[in-house]
Amino acid sequence: MTEEKTKSKNFTSILIPTSLYKKLEEKVKETEFSSVSSLVTHIIREYLAKLEEEKEVFSEEEEEEIKERLRALGYID
Amino acid sequence: MRVLVIGSDGLSPILVEKWIETLPALRKIKKQGIMGRTIPPLPAQTPVAWTTFMTGVNPGKHGIFSFMTREKGTYKRKVNTPDKIKTKTLWKILSEHDKKVGVINVPMARTEELNGFIIPGFLAKNEGIPYPTKIKEKLQGKFGIKQFKGDVEIKLLERVKEEPDKFFERVDEITDIQMDISLFLLEEEEWDFFITVFMGTDRIQHFFWKYVDERHPEYEKNEFTEKVKRYYQKMDVIISRFLENIDLEETLFILLSDHGFCPVHSEVLVNCLLHKQGFLKGDVKGEIDVEGSVAVAYEYGDVWLNLKGREPQGKIKPEEYGEILQKIKKNLEKIEVDGQKVVKYVATRDVYWGPYVEEAPDLIILFNSGWQASRGKSKEYKTQKCIVKSEKWNGGHDGTHDPRDVPGILAILGHGIPEGLEVEANLYDLTPTILKILQVPIPNYMDGKPIQQIFTS
Ligand SMILES: [Zn+2]
C-alpha cells in the first residue's frame, strides 16, 4: 500500500472557519505541533478525554453504592 | 515489538513453585524465559498495587493509598476510585504515542479516551462496559453480552462457607468467559499492547489459603487443596492458549500478579489497642469519638492522628506530632502473643515521596504473617481481647503486610529473553519496562526503571 492510500484511509477532513484556521496557524508556531491539523487533533483528543473523565466521577449516591459492595466483600467496615 | 500481559490477581509465586510439575505452560516459561517476583507497593492492596503497576510511580505520586482514605481536612472516609488517580496510565501514554492498546478488566482501570479499547475493571464506575461502543457491539454480536464484569457476585461471596461448590463453579465460569472474550479481541483488534487481568486467584485464596500453605497453623489438606490447585492448572491452560495465539518472535509475553498471599489466623482490633493505650476515647453513644481522640485506626491498620490545623477538631499540637507518632509506633511494635511478635513494624509517611504524601495515613501497621487488622470489627474498641481469631478469611496480603512477605509473580517469555533467569522487580518497574520495549520515551517523573535483564540481548 502506498503512503497516499494509507493517508486517505486513516484521515479525513473537517471544515472550520478560515478566520479560526488563521488564528491557529499563528498559534501553532508557539507550540511543539508541526501543523494546524496536529494541533487540532490534540485539542479534540483532550476534549474527548475530558468528557470521559467527567463521566467517571462518582456522585455521592454512587459512592455509597460502591461502599456497600466493598462492605459486602468484607473489604471495609 | 508488541507486548501481551496476562494478569492474575494475587497469583502466588509460592504455589506456582510448589505445583510447577503440574503446570506445563509455566514450567516452559521457567525453563525458556524469566521466572521471578514482583514486589508490591505499601500497602499491598489490590487498588494500590494495580495503580502502581499502571502508572510506574509510588503512591505518593499517584495518590491511591488504600481502598479508602480520609478526605483532606475532614474526618470523612472516601473510596479511592480510579477517577482519583493523579498520574497517566501506561495505556494513555502508549495511546499518545500512537500505539494501539487493548485493556481488559484491570482493577482501577477506568474508561478513558484511548487509541484502542478498554473494558474497565474492579472499582471503576463503568466496570465491565466496553469502550468505545464499537467494541461493545462486537462483543454483543459474538457473545450476546453488553457488559463483562470479571468478578464473582456479592451474593456468592457472602455464602462461600455455606456453598463453596457454587463459588468455585462461578469463578470457573467467569474465568472461561474472560478467556473467550480476551482471545476474541486479541485476534479481532489491532494492538501493540494488550492486557487482561483475571480476578479468580485473589477471591479463592482469601477464603481457602489455609488449605494450601503449610505455614498456616490450621493447615489442612483436603478437597479444597485440590480445588485451588485445579484453578492454578486452569490458569496454566489459559496461559498456554494465549501463547498459542501469539508469535513469540514479535510479541513479548508477560505474566504478573499484583501481590501474593500469606497466612491469616488472627485479627487485631487496632482501635481496641489504641483505647487501652489512651489514644482513643468513646463518645456518649459508646461509639468511637473520632473528633475527641488523639488517634483512630481503620480497616487496614492505617492510623490517623487528630492534628490541630489539619483536622477540624485537632487535638495534637504540631510540635507534639512527632513524639506521639513515635509513642504509638513503639507501643504497637511491642505487642506479643505467646512470645510471638504481632507487628513487624509501623511505617510512617516517610515511605512515600511525591506531591500527594500528605494524603497518606499518618501510620501504617505492618503485621507479621498470620495477623491482620480486623475488618468486620474495626469499630470495636471496648472489648476485653484486642486480638481475636480470624473467622472469615484465612489468607491475606493487605492487612497490612510487608510487601516482601507477599510478593507477586513475574514470568516473561519472548525472543531474546534470557533462559532460566530469576528476576525481582518492583511493580512500578513494569510500566517503564513496557514503554522501553515499545520504544516509547519514559517520562522523567516515573519511579520505576526498566528491568535490565530483558534488554541484555
Ligand atoms: Zn489483588
Nearest residue on chain B to A44, alpha-carbon basis: B113
List the grid coordinates of B56: 510506574
What is the CA(A22)–ligand 1 centre distance, in A?
52
Average pLDDT, chain B: 95
> Do residues B126 and B110 make contact, with C-beta atoms less than 8 angstroms apart?
yes
**Chain A residues with CB-CB distance to B130 below 8 A:** none
Confidence class for position B20, pLDDT limits 50, 70, 90: very high
> What CATH number did the domain enclosing B105 receive?
3.40.720.10
Confidence class for position B138, pLDDT limits 50, 70, 90: very high
| Residue A1 belongs to a domain | no
Asked if B81 and A58 come within 8 Å (Cβ–Cβ), the reply is yes
Burial B196-223 (b: 16+ CB within 10 A, else e): bbbbbbbbbbbbbbbbbbeebeeeeeee
Domain range for residue B68?
Answer: 2-261+404-455
Poorest-pLDDT segment among A9-13, B164-168, B190-194? A9-13
**Coil, helix or strand at residue B16:** helix
Asked if A52 and B123 come within 8 Å (Cβ–Cβ), the reply is no
3-class SS letters over B80-115: CCHHHCCCCCHHHHHHHCCCCEEEECCCCCCCCCCC
Residues B433 and B285 in one domain: no
Of A52, A62, A76, which has the smallest distance from its Cβ to B111's Cβ? A52
Query: Is cis: bond before B400, omega within 30 of 0?
Result: yes
**Chain B residues with CB-CB distance to A75 below 8 A:** 67, 299, 375
List the grid coordinates of B295: 488517634
Residues B18 and B121 in one domain: yes
The pLDDT tens digits for A22-33 are 999 999 988 888
The pLDDT tens digits for B273-330 are 999 999 999 999 999 999 999 999 998 999 999 999 999 999 999 999 999 999 999 9
| Residue A68 belongs to a domain | yes
Which pLDDT score, from 0 to 100, does residue A63 have? 87
User: Following DSSP, what letter does each residue of B18-77 receive, concatenated?
Assistant: HHGGG-HHHHHHHHHSEEEEEE--SS--HHHHHHHHHHSS-HHHH---SSEEEPTTSS-E
**What span, in angstroms and rounded, lies between the C-alpha atoms of B88 and B444?**
13
Q: What is the mean pLDDT of residues B195-215?
A: 95
pLDDT surpasses 50 at A53: yes
State the smallest CA–CA distance between residue B144 and chain A in angstroms: 25
> Do residues B51 and B57 make contact, with C-beta atoms less than 8 angstroms apart?
no
List the grid coordinates of B293: 481522640
Nearest residue on chain A to B120, alpha-carbon basis: A56
The proportion of chain A whose per-residue pLDDT surpasses 70, expressed as a percent, equals 88
Which pLDDT score, from 0 to 100, does residue A7 have? 54
Asked if B112 and A53 come within 8 Å (Cβ–Cβ), the reply is yes
**What span, in angstroms and rounded, lies between the C-alpha atoms of B274 and B268?**
11
Poorest-pLDDT segment among A36-50, B143-157, B215-229? A36-50
| Residue A44 belongs to a domain | yes
pLDDT surpasses 80 at B185: yes
B164, amino acid identity: P
Q: CB atoms < 10 A from the CB of A44, how many? A: 12
State the smallest CA–CA distance between residue B125 and chain A in angstroms: 6
What is the CA(B389)–ligand 1 centre distance, in A?
23
Residues B190 and B239 in one domain: yes
Boundary-marking domain end, from B375, B396, B417? B396
Asked if A73 and B81 come within 8 Å (Cβ–Cβ), the reply is no
Q: Does B334 touch chain A (CB under 8 A)?
A: no
Of A49, A55, A66, which has the smallest distance from its Cβ to B81's Cβ? A66
Domain range for residue A21?
Answer: 17-72
Nearest residue on chain A to B47, alpha-carbon basis: A75
Nearest residue on chain A to B125, alpha-carbon basis: A56
What is the CA(B318)–ligand 1 centre distance, in A?
36
Boundary-marking domain end, from B346, B366, B396? B396
Which residues make Cβ contacts (< 8 Å) with residue B220, sequence separation at least 6? B210, B211
> Do residues B248 and B416 make contact, with C-beta atoms less than 8 angstroms apart?
no
Residues B53 and B146 in one domain: yes
**What span, in angstroms and rounded, lies between the C-alpha atoms of B4 and B102?**
9
> Do residues B98 and B181 make contact, with C-beta atoms less than 8 angstroms apart?
no
**Chain B residues with CB-CB distance to A67 below 8 A:** 79
- Give me the residue label for grid cell 506456582: B16
Which pLDDT score, from 0 to 100, does residue B244 have? 97
Residues B274 and B208 in one domain: no
Which is it for the CA torsion B307, B309, B310, B314, positive or negative?
Answer: positive
> What CATH number did the domain enclosing B359 receive?
3.30.1360
pLDDT surpasses 60 at A2: no
**What span, in angstroms and rounded, lies between the C-alpha atoms of A67 and B77?**
10
What is the CA(B38)–ligand 1 centre distance, in A?
12
Nearest residue on chain B to A49, alpha-carbon basis: B113
Which pLDDT score, from 0 to 100, does residue A5 have? 47
**Which run of H or E residues covers position B3?**
strand B2-8
- Give me the residue label for grid cell 479534540: A44
Q: Does B167 touch chain A (CB under 8 A)?
A: no
> Do residues B407 and B38 make contact, with C-beta atoms less than 8 angstroms apart?
yes
**Chain B residues with CB-CB distance to A10 below 8 A:** none
- CA distances (Å), origin B315, targets B75, B296, B312, B414, B447: 13, 12, 9, 58, 36
| Residue A11 belongs to a domain | no
What is the CA(B300)–ligand 1 centre distance, in A?
14
Residues B228 and B355 in one domain: no
Q: Does B69 touch chain A (CB under 8 A)?
A: no
Q: Who has greater pLDDT, B151 or B199?
A: B199
Residues B105 and B230 in one domain: yes
| Residue A24 belongs to a domain | yes
The pLDDT tens digits for B331-375 are 999 999 999 999 999 999 999 999 999 999 999 999 999 999 998
- Give me the residue label for grid cell 468467559: B177
**Chain A residues with CB-CB distance to B376 below 8 A:** 74, 77
pTM: 0.91
Which pLDDT score, from 0 to 100, does residue B201 have? 96
The pLDDT tens digits for B57-98 are 999 999 999 999 999 999 999 999 999 999 999 999 999 999
User: Following DSSP, what letter does each residue of B267-306 receive, concatenated?
Assistant: EE-HHHHHHHTTS--B-TTSSB-TTT-SEEE-TTSEEEE-
**Which run of H or E residues covers position B235?**
helix B223-244
Helices (H), B87-222: 90-96, 133-143, 154-157, 164-188, 200-208
**Coil, helix or strand at residue B262:** strand
Nearest residue on chain B to A45, alpha-carbon basis: B113
**Chain B residues with CB-CB distance to A56 below 8 A:** 81-83, 110-112, 124-126
> Do residues B245 and B187 make contact, with C-beta atoms less than 8 angstroms apart?
yes
Of B83, B154, B376, which has the smallest distance from its Cβ to A56's Cβ? B83
Which pLDDT score, from 0 to 100, does residue B259 have? 96
Domain count across chain B: 2
The proportion of chain B whose per-residue pLDDT surpasses 90, expressed as a percent, equals 90
Q: Who has greater pLDDT, B413 or A3?
A: B413
Boundary-marking domain end, from B345, B380, B396? B396
Nearest residue on chain B to A58, alpha-carbon basis: B125
Domain count across chain A: 1
B180, amino acid identity: D
**Chain A residues with CB-CB distance to B128 below 8 A:** none
Kind of pairing between the strands at B340-341 and B343-348: unpaired
List the grid coordinates of B455: 534488554
Confidence class for position A1, pLDDT limits 50, 70, 90: very low
Which pLDDT score, from 0 to 100, does residue B91 have? 98
**What span, in angstroms and rounded, lies between the C-alpha atoms of B67 and B400?**
12
Which residues make Cβ contacts (< 8 Å) with residue B195, sequence separation at least 6? B4, B5, B6, B7, B91, B102, B103, B104, B106
Asked if B83 and A70 come within 8 Å (Cβ–Cβ), the reply is no
